[in-house]
Structure 1
Amino acid sequence: MIEFSREGAIWQATINRPDKANSLTHEMLVNLAQFMEDAQSARAVILTGNGKVFSAGADLKEAQAGLAVSDIWERLSGAIAALPGLSICALNGTLAGGAMGMALACDLRIAVPDAKFFYPVMKLGFLPQPSDPARMSALIGPSRTKLI
């Protein structure tokens, strides 16, 4: 589900659920948050996915059961943003939904040329993570953020 590795001061987390578009379960999010909270000594942390999709966001079954509004998303993005070392989101493909918060919280986002970005949370009837609008506005400006 999530593969964690450490090579010296470089830590990496790889979302490895390509058969489900790397959608995230509550357990996966808790494990990612704990990894990021433990990465205080890392000089760099890389977050990536396996396959053609970085992450489709929440697993749909778990989203309908409450994961879409869980505070675990904010815990994870807050842990990433608080890292003292460099955080890099290596976007191997499509990024959607709740996974957007992870990418927004990273210092750098590097994407393959054919990566697509979707933020459908409001169309699905949910509010974005509390920190997402401010982070997105800082990156692309308030006008573009409001369009999204």
Structure 2
Amino acid sequence: MIEVSKDGDLWTVTINRPDKANSLTGAMLEELAETFESAQSARAVILTGTGKVFSAGADLEEARAGLATSPLWERLSSAVAALPGLSIAALNGTLAGGAMGMALACDIRIATPGAKFFYPVMKLGFLPQPSDPGRMSALIGPARTKLILMGGQKITADDALTYGLIDRIVEPEALIDTARDICTDTLAAKLEIAAGIKGMCS
């Protein structure tokens, strides 16, 4: 359910469970974490999904059994954030719940016009993963972060672009090509130069 393709130094990681809205099981989270931990030599990584939803977050049955508070979420987002090369979340649709963390940890987020963004963790009785509020607040500010995390608001792609939660809205058929195009200069550079620029932007 996690597919990885490599085109030279460009990796594309795809969540492929469209019949379950790409909801994530513990095994899928672990596979994603291991994939990103092993991608440290990649110059660029694109993270995307199949179907019309990027990810609905935790698989409901496993969430009830404890997955919602698993340290695997934080392990995954930390692995994404640690990539020395460029990381792009190519969001093919709605991004919800704990799946927000890995997208927030990417360097760039692009999304399709119909995507929505929400993180109903408080309503479900859980705290968000430790790094998620800080990363979200760095992008959109503390008030809008509270609007999502405490106000339970669903944000449209247009609002997400205005807020700075995403960086571009792209039609579905052009999503991956756009992500690949953004990676072009990074792929042509030395990894240490790309990593150096990335560090200077932090």
Normalised TM-score (structure 2): 0.72
1:57 corresponds to 2:57 = yes
| Equivalences for residues 1-148 of structure 1 within 5 A | 1-148=1-148
Question: 5+ unaligned residues in a row in structure 2: which ranges?
Answer: 149-202
> Highest CA radius of gyration, 1 or 2?
2
CA RMSD of aligned residues (A): 0.6
CA-CA distance at 1:147 after TM superposition: 1.8
Find the aligned partners of 1:12 and 1:51 in 2 and give their Cα distance.
Answer: 16
Find the aligned partners of 1:17 and 1:123 in 2 and give their Cα distance.
Answer: 25
Paired amino acid for 2:91: L
Question: 5+ unaligned residues in a row in structure 1: which ranges?
Answer: none
Moved >4 Å (runs of 4+): none
Deviations 1:19-67 (A, max 9, x none): 0000000000000000000001101011000000000000000000010
Find the aligned partners of 2:89 and 2:100 in 1 and give their Cα distance.
Answer: 10
Please identify which structure carries the higher helix content.
2
Normalised TM-score (structure 1): 0.99
Find the aligned partners of 1:115 and 1:144 in 2 and give their Cα distance.
Answer: 18
Find the aligned partners of 2:52 and 2:63 in 1 and give their Cα distance.
Answer: 22
Find the aligned partners of 1:147 and 1:54 in 2 and give their Cα distance.
Answer: 21
Find the aligned partners of 1:59 and 1:26 in 2 and give their Cα distance.
Answer: 8
Q: Secondary structure at the match of 2:5?
A: strand
Would you say how many aligned residue pairs link Structure 1 and Structure 2?
A: 148
Find the aligned partners of 1:146 and 1:19 in 2 and give their Cα distance.
Answer: 31
Partner of 2:180: none
CA-CA distance at 1:142 after TM superposition: 1.1
Partner of 2:198: none
Sequence identity percentage: 80
Paired amino acid for 1:133: P
Paired amino acid for 2:78: G
Paired amino acid for 1:106: C
Deviations 1:49-91 (A, max 9, x none): 0000000000000000010000000000000001000000000
Find the aligned partners of 2:50 and 2:65 in 1 and give their Cα distance.
Answer: 26
Find the aligned partners of 1:16 and 1:62 in 2 and give their Cα distance.
Answer: 18
